[in-house]
Amino acid sequence: MNDAKLPYGAVRNSLAGATTVSGPVVQAGAIHGGLHLHGPSVLPTPRQLPPCPRRLIGREAELASLDSSLAPDAGAADVTVVVTGPAGVGKTALAAQWLRGQSDRFPDGQLYADLRGYAPDGPADPAEALGGFLRAFGISPVPGSLEEGAALWRSLAAERRISVLLDNASTAAQVRPLLPGSDHTVVVVTSRRRLTGLGIDGAVFRPLAPLAPEASTEILAARVGRSRVVDERDAAAEVVDACAGLPLAICLAAARIAARPAQSLAATAEMLGRGTDRLAALDVEGETVRDLLDASYGVLEPDTARLYGLLGLLPFAEFTLENAAVLADLDPAGADRLLDGLIDVHLLEETGPQRFRFHDLVRLHARARGALVRGTPPAAAALDRVVDWYLASATAAEAVVSPSHRTLARDYRTRAVHPAREFTGDVPAVEWLDAERDRLADVLRWCEELGRPAAAWQLADAMWPLFLRLRPGRLWVEAHRIGLRAARADGSRSGELRMLTSGGNGLRNAGEGEEAADWFTAALTLARETDRPLAQADALYGLSQTHRMAGRLDAAAECLDQVVRLREAEDYLRGSALARLAYGEVLLLAGRAAEAVEPIERAGRELASIEDDYEAARATAFLGLAHGRLGAYELAEARIEEALAGFRARLSAHWEARTLEFAGQVEELRGRPDAARARFEQSMARYREVGAAAEAARLADRLAAYGADSAVTLRPDDPEA
């Protein structure tokens, strides 16, 4: 309308009554031509979460943990949750499933952005994700700078109840501009990295582990048919085991199986069992586990990537910080930094203080990477360093625990061996040997593969305290079979002799008496051919023990008499004392306890004089049994308790079990069946703990007699050397 009070040409618009204006408004003084006005299109509430399974099998505990992250009141402050885990473990599916179940809590929208943290062309710019969020709420054009866009995003989110899924994040810096900072929003970030920097922003962290075998089997059954899984239960278990708890791997395997209904599950299990071929088998139409692992590997620093491949070549799945430091030729701090880089992208798991392991499929990937450089001089030197470090450390333990056994040479291939473990006494040395026994065994087997026969038999020799104190029967025999082959391949007569005698002891203790006798006889022949009196004595000592176990007590005593004479001629006090102790044991078995006391007491005095506390404790145990046979029960009990304390202090579980058995025998002689039964039960339990099945079975038979008749008949003893 025109108003006379307004300047010429001015127009004043006015609205009256209930009139309202909605949408764009154009104010014009003059309009020429046509004017077309269209009302705004109404954008739907954003619901951008990616598809996910209707039911997430095996993740009930994780979903409950996410529930606990939320504030109980929908209007209260909510959080940022970071879900981390290895590639293919199901982070996105878990996050999407959980947020979808919370949709009522977020009526103003659920947003999603793939930050492409491991894409070949690099991670996404956070400005790209911001633009998508703003456009989802009708804001266009979006601000040109990241700072302006982030500020507008925070303003927009302040009055809305929304959730955001930031998938495949690379770094905390990439995520931070996308955090709305509102009291009414929940942000879930998924990443293969730990993203610990987001802790500054108040984030909570939810690591996601591989699935349990039961859940993996349930997924397989849901996808290929329960009847197939039930009909081929063993093959299904092999498939599940090959997929190592990764949902992606299980789904890929299931897709292959479902696509070929006429093919058995056993065929797929066989294909998945072919080492590194397993990664190639887990490939369906371009979706592969290998690609995911390649992407994680691709973000590693060069030194970290090199260590990753070398770790894949190690013969054991779980390794220590020391192993990594030796392999990388770094100090522990430097190696820890590289390992942290692998943990950060979930290519490595920390299983305990300074202990690590690869997930099964990751280990295959690391091994394939390592194979690319295995033949190079730097890689060969790295593997040699590991062998030499274990050989040097085991030898250091041997020198502390069994100094009289530490007589043979050691051949190291690397010039500067990383400092071997140092031990302040026999207990720490035995504890280390026990903790490292599996890796020692793997390195011993590995020496054959690496073409290092000298290191193989020398490592078997250095592990003697492990065999002597802890009695791992199968490993004792296996190690010396490998060692004997290696010593012969190395052309070492000294090594061959040591393997025959030490290995013969292992065979005898494993119940392989005839083969043990063959080994000792071969050792005796070789020792005579090479004119080695002490080696002859060792072989005769071994033969005496096989005679003893076979009940040929006269032959055993004759061998031991020769052993004493040979060792005394060489001024080998410890050796002659051990032969006297063995002779006293033979006398006990022959029922000649009174005659046994003198050689056992003398052996104990001689062993104590050279501070061989372990062997002196053995003499004390036998002396306790001898006194019990002679009716000196109080003295017997005192000696047995003294021996038990010595074995417990020196971590000799096998001899602790055997001494408890002696205690049971003495209680039987005293006519105290209840006390005898208690001692035998303790002994049997200890034997079982150390894997001494034959000894445990013998005691089980003895205890069964108590159930049949409380008046137990004392049977001849059959102690083991």
Can you give the pLDDT at residue 52? 78
If you search the block for the tokens 């204006």, which residue do you land on? Answer: 21
Contact 295, 118 (CB under 8 A): yes
Q: In this structure, are 65 and 202 located in the same domain?
A: yes
Query: Is residue 518 within a helix (H) or strand (E), and if so which, with residue range?
Result: helix 513-529
Residue 559 near residue 544 (C-beta atoms within 8 A)? yes
Last residue of a domain, which of 155, 186, 207? 207
Task: Assess contact for 97 and 144: CB atoms under 8 A.
Answer: no
Residues in the chain: 721
Identity of residue 399: A
**CB 250: neighbour CB atoms within 10 A?**
28
Residue 417, pLDDT > 90, answer no
Sheet holding 355-357, edge to edge: 318-320, 355-357, 349-352
pLDDT class of 713 with cuts at 50, 70, 90: very low
Edge-to-edge strand list for the sheet holding 110-114: 110-114, 163-167, 186-191, 80-84, 204-207
SS3 (DSSP) at 188: strand
Confidence at residue 243, expressed as pLDDT on a 0 to 100 scale: 83
Claim to verify: residue 223 and residue 300 sit in the same structural domain? no
Nearest to 338, CA basis, from 305, 365, 363 = 305
Helix, strand or coil, per DSSP, at residue 74:
coil
Look at residues 342, 374, 406 and tell me which one is the last residue of a structural domain.
Answer: 374
Domain presence at residue 72: yes
Residues 277 and 299 in one domain: no
Segments forming the whole domain that contains residue 690? 598-708
Structure tokens at 298: 């691709």
pLDDT of residue 709: 46
Closest CA to 309 of 269, 368, 359: 368
Q: What pLDDT, on the 0 to 100 scale, is given for residue 188? A: 95
For residue 191, what are the β-bridge partners? 84
Q: Which pLDDT band, with edges at 50, 70 and 90, does 5 fall under?
A: low
Token pair, residue 294, equals 């390649």
**Residues 199, 269 within the same domain:** no
Q: Over 50: is that where the pLDDT of 51 sits? A: yes
The residues that bridge with 113 in the sheet, in sequence order, are: 166
Q: What counts of helices (H) and strands (E) characterise the chain?
A: 33, 10
> In this predicted structure, what is the pLDDT of residue 444?
97
- Are 342 and 353 in contact by the 8 Å Cβ rule? The answer is no
Number of neighbouring beta carbons within 10 Å of residue 228: 17
Q: What pLDDT does 717 receive?
A: 42
Whether residue 455 is found in the same domain as residue 405: yes
Going by pLDDT thresholds of 50, 70 and 90, the confidence category of residue 71 is low
Q: With respect to residue 39, please indicate whether it lies within any of the assigned structural domains.
A: no
Burial of 505 (0-12, 13-18, 19+ CB in 10 A): buried
In a domain, 319, yes or no: yes
CA angle 490/493/499 to nearest 5° reads 85
Average pLDDT over residues 51-77: 79
**Nearby residues of 105 by Cβ (< 8 Å), 6 or more positions away:** 70, 74, 161, 163, 186
Asked if 134 contacts 80 with a C-beta cutoff of 8 angstroms, the reply is: no
Count CB neighbours of 254 within 10 A: 21
Q: How many CB atoms are located within 10 Å of the residue 697 CB?
A: 13
**Alpha-carbon gap, residue 250 to 217, rounded angstroms:** 9
Positive/negative CA dihedral, 277, 279, 284, 288: negative
Query: What pLDDT, on the 0 to 100 scale, is given for residue 421?
Result: 84
Please, what's the b/e burial string for 159-194 (b: 16 or more CB within 10 A of its CB; e: otherwise)? eebbbbbbbbbbbbebbebbbbebebbbbbbbbbbb
The residues, any chain, with a CB within 8 Å of residue 183's CB and separated by 6 or more, are 76, 77, 78
One domain for residues 704 and 625: yes
Q: What is the CATH number of the domain that holds 633?
A: 1.25.40.10
Report phi then psi at 492, rounded to 5. Answer: -100, 110
| Separation between Cα atoms, residue 168 and residue 195, nearest integer Å | 11
Residues 235 and 350 occupy one common structural domain: no
320: β partners: 355
- The total of other beta-carbon atoms located within 10 Å of residue 235's CB is 19
Q: Which amino acid, residue 24?
A: P
Rounded Cα–Cα distance for residues 645 and 581 (Å): 20
Q: Which residue has the higher pLDDT, 305 or 182?
A: 305
Name residue 465's amino acid.
P
Same domain, 92 and 112: yes
Q: How far apart are CA 515 and CA 337, in angstroms?
A: 50
Mean per-residue pLDDT over the chain, rounded = 87
- Please give the Cα distance from 296 to 361 (Å, whole number): 13
What is the tally of structural domains in the chain?
Answer: 5
pLDDT band of 86, cuts 50, 70, 90: confident
Give the lowest-confidence range in 16-30, 53-67, 673-687.
Answer: 16-30
Looking at residue 515, what is its pLDDT? Answer: 95
Helices (H), ranges, 345-423: 360-371, 377-401
pLDDT tens track for 309-349: 999 999 998 999 999 999 999 999 999 999 999 988 888 88
For range 646-662, the mean pLDDT: 93
* Residue 567 domain flag: no
370 shares a domain with 397: no
Distance CA(74)–CA(614), nearest Å, equals 68
Alpha helices, DSSP H, located in 406-492: 426-435, 437-450, 453-462, 464-470, 473-490
The 10s digit of each residue's pLDDT in 254-273 is 887 877 787 888 887 877 76
User: And the tokens for 232?
Assistant: 């081929």
Residue 563 lies in a domain: no
Residue 444 falls inside a structural domain: yes
Q: How far apart (Å, rounded) are the C-alpha atoms in residues 584 and 592?
A: 9
Among candidates 499, 514, 515, 512, which has minimal Cα distance to 467? 499
pLDDT average, residue stretch 591-601: 95
With respect to residue 86, please indicate whether it lies within any of the assigned structural domains: yes
| Residue where a domain terminates, one of 348, 374, 400 | 374
367 and 385 fall within a common domain: no
The reply to whether 512 falls in a domain is no
Q: Is the predicted pLDDT of residue 461 greater than 90, yes or no?
A: yes
- Tell me the three state secondary structure of residue 23: coil
Half-sphere exposure of 525 (CA within 13 A, CB side): 7
The answer to whether residues 98 and 193 belong to one domain is yes
Residue with tokens 């009289």: 404
Say whether both 227 and 269 belong to one domain.
yes
State how far Cα 388 lies from the chain centre: 23
